[in-house]
Amino acid sequence: MATHKALWKVPMFKFFFTPKGVRGLATFQHACSPKVCIVGGGPAGFYTAQHLVKTRPDVEVDIYERLPVPFGLVRFGVAPDHPEVKNVMNTFTQTAQHARCSFHGNVRVGKDVTVQELQESYHAVVLSYGAEGNRNMGVPGEDLDGVYSAKDFVGWYNGLPRNRHLRPDLSCETAVVLGQGNVALDVARILLSPVDILKKTDITQPALDAVSKSSVRRVLIVGRRGPLQVACTIKELREMVNLPGTRPEMVVSEFDGIAEKLKALPRPRKRLTELLLKAAVETPGEKELERLKSDKQAWGFRFFRSPVEVLPSADHTRVAGIRLAVNRLVGEGEGARAEATGEVEDMECGLVVSSIGYKSLAIDPVVPFDSRKDVIPNTMGRVQNAAGLYCSGWVKRGPTGVIATTMNDSFDTARTLLHDMDKGILDISTAKPGSQGVAALLHKRGVKPVSFSDWEKIDIEETRRGEARGKPREKLLDVGEMLQVAWA
């Protein structure tokens, strides 16, 4: 299989990534070569693997992923209308097809194989499994029908198998999104985007059907602090501002005093705030006014508000509104704190999506975990007090940042690991069995991994189904079906 991979890729993929090891197939599968295992097949895992195989010509890397399909949040997190961001999958594919890198999907680390068993087979284990938990609001009514975490909502429209049965009720007019980060804006944008745009993306068909029938016309995006503290980035804000058929609906008084503070802000925050002010306060030109009049939908930020309670409908079956505490800001700038004034207000809505952050979960008792910060305690990617364990991505530094953040962070961890190999901090003197050792365990336990070429069969099938609908891809939603296609 390695030969087959190596043959075609050299001339076709000469950019970004020179597969140095491919040249000499003799370097492949050396008994004494350093073996590294990566837990999690998302961007952190792939970028860590990329840097390892590229920098050190003898290292062998295996990526283990719980699902049969690779790429993690690039597949299941990045919004369907952001196909450009998904171009990173091309680079990940090259990494996976590198002679010294292998992908093993459908393997649950912590269940099918323990981290300790991985450590017995590999010289180093890198934990890159991301943040699959979400922060709860911790308010009464959170469990009512019509209240979703953004993580589940995003998972639903992006085809995450565990969220396929979410089927959110979109029959209301107003939706409230709690949180003002990029995920919150993704959710708002998907709720309000013209179906003609969405139908050309890889949004799942059930989600597309639901959104086409949606009655949601107004999305309010609520944050506990003020306009100077919004967590979204400017690209996502600009998309909201330019969203066809949708006008901004802000509360002008919430922007009091903001214009005066612009001058002292660093460039990114300044440009973001200027755009925000333009959408909120500025009187639009004639042409823009014409467009706004015809827009039937609206979106808006609501600042200085924290959820207190999700209010039930008269029959107590589902959400009918949300009670918000009114805050004031203590302090200035990025570090300003929200403090409750004691005042509350109710907001009517039929859908609540809480987008107040993801969080990492502990995977295995042998891996140290900081349950206050929800990360693996580490120094530059070295897991504290655990020789041979490393971490990268969200589980290392918390669930923030764009893909380039994770890329740099993963390269850093790879550098640390390579440094430790070079300096003898990490013992690579004894031979380890690598994937062969793990394969034997998995076989004994009746677990059959999905290889990268198996995934490519899924990829072909999804692309084929997408073509029939004029979409780049129609994702398989069921793990059983994925496995069936993979092993067909």
Partner 1 sequence: MSLVTLTRRLLNLSAQGSPLRRSAFVLASDTAGLKRCSLPGQLQACCTRQRNVSTSTQPLRADSKVTINFINRDGEKITAKGSPGESLLDVVINQDLDFDGFGACEGTLACSTCHLIFDEDVYKKLGPVTDEEMDMLDLAYGLTDTSRLGCQICLTRSLDGITARVPDSVTDIRQSEDVSS
Nearer of residues 294 and 379 to partner 1, judged by Cβ: 379
Site string for partner 1, 77-96 (x = CB under 8 A): -----xxxx-xx-xx-----
Regarding 3 and contact with partner 1 (CB under 8 A), the answer is: no
Is 428 among the annotated ligand-binding positions?
A: no
Given a contact cutoff of 8 angstroms between Cβ atoms, the answer to whether 481 and 164 are in contact is no
Tokens representing 452 are 């990268």
358: three-class secondary structure by DSSP: strand
Regarding 401 and contact with partner 1 (CB under 8 A), the answer is: yes
Regarding 368 and contact with partner 1 (CB under 8 A), the answer is: no
The count of chain residues that interact with partner 1, using the rule CB under 8 A, is: 56
First CA to last CA across the chain, in angstroms?
Answer: 17
Chain residues 232-271 in contact with partner 1, contact rule CB under 8 A: 233-235, 238, 267-268, 271
Nearest to 391 by CA among 404, 377, 401, 402: 377
- Rounded CA gap, 10 and 8, in Å? 6
- 349 CB contacts (<8 Å, ≥6 apart)? 172, 174, 175, 176, 220, 319, 320, 321, 322
Among 10, 14, 111, 445, binds partner 1 (CB under 8 A): 14
Regarding 138 and contact with partner 1 (CB under 8 A), the answer is: no
The angle formed by the CA atoms of residues 310, 145 and 199, to the nearest 5 degrees, is: 110
Is 247 among the annotated ligand-binding positions?
A: no
Is 65 among the annotated ligand-binding positions?
A: yes
- Rounded CA gap, 228 and 248, in Å? 18
Among 11, 285, 335, 424, binds partner 1 (CB under 8 A): 11
Is 167 among the annotated ligand-binding positions?
A: no
Minimum distance, C-beta of residue 9 to partner 1, in the bound complex (Å): 8
Stretch that binds partner 1, among 2-10, 136-144, 171-179, 187-195 (CB under 8 A): 2-10
Regarding 56 and contact with partner 1 (CB under 8 A), the answer is: no
Given a contact cutoff of 8 angstroms between Cβ atoms, the answer to whether 99 and 2 are in contact is yes
10's enclosing H/E stretch is helix 2-12
Is 286 among the annotated ligand-binding positions?
A: no
- Rounded CA gap, 189 and 280, in Å? 17
Minimum distance, C-beta of residue 319 to partner 1, in the bound complex (Å): 34
Among 380, 387, 425, 431, binds partner 1 (CB under 8 A): 380
Regarding 403 and contact with partner 1 (CB under 8 A), the answer is: yes
Regarding 487 and contact with partner 1 (CB under 8 A), the answer is: no
Is 69 among the annotated ligand-binding positions?
A: no
Tokens representing 408 are 């740099």
Nearer of residues 141 and 181 to partner 1, judged by Cβ: 181
Is 401 among the annotated ligand-binding positions?
A: yes
- Rounded CA gap, 122 and 60, in Å? 10
Regarding 44 and contact with partner 1 (CB under 8 A), the answer is: no
Nearest to 258 by CA among 293, 290, 282, 234: 282
Regarding 467 and contact with partner 1 (CB under 8 A), the answer is: yes
Tell me the sheet residues that pair with 35: 60
- Rounded CA gap, 395 and 383, in Å? 11
Regarding 5 and contact with partner 1 (CB under 8 A), the answer is: yes
Q: Which long-range contacts (CB under 8 A, 24 or more apart) does 181-185 make?
A: 181/231, 181/232, 181/355, 181/357, 182/231, 182/232, 182/233, 182/236, 182/402, 183/77, 183/150, 183/154, 183/355, 184/150, 184/221, 184/232, 184/353, 184/355, 185/221, 185/232, 185/236, 185/237, 185/239, 185/240
Is 109 among the annotated ligand-binding positions?
A: yes
Stretch that binds partner 1, among 119-127, 147-155, 247-255, 399-407 (CB under 8 A): 399-407
Within 258-331, residue ranges assigned H as helices are: 258-261, 267-280, 286-294
Site string for partner 1, 265-304 (x = CB under 8 A): --xx--xx--------------------------------
Minimum distance, C-beta of residue 317 to partner 1, in the bound complex (Å): 42
Nearer of residues 3 and 116 to partner 1, judged by Cβ: 3
Nearer of residues 140 and 472 to partner 1, judged by Cβ: 472
> Annotated binding residues, as ranges?
44, 65, 73, 109, 180-183, 224-225, 236, 394, 401-403
Q: Given the rule CB under 8 A, which residues bind partner 1?
A: 4-5, 8-9, 11-12, 14-16, 18, 47, 50-51, 54, 82-85, 87-88, 90-91, 97, 233-235, 238, 267-268, 271-272, 373, 378-380, 396-397, 400-405, 407-409, 411-412, 453, 456-457, 459-460, 463, 467, 472
What residues form the annotated binding site for FAD?
44, 65, 73, 109, 394, 401-403
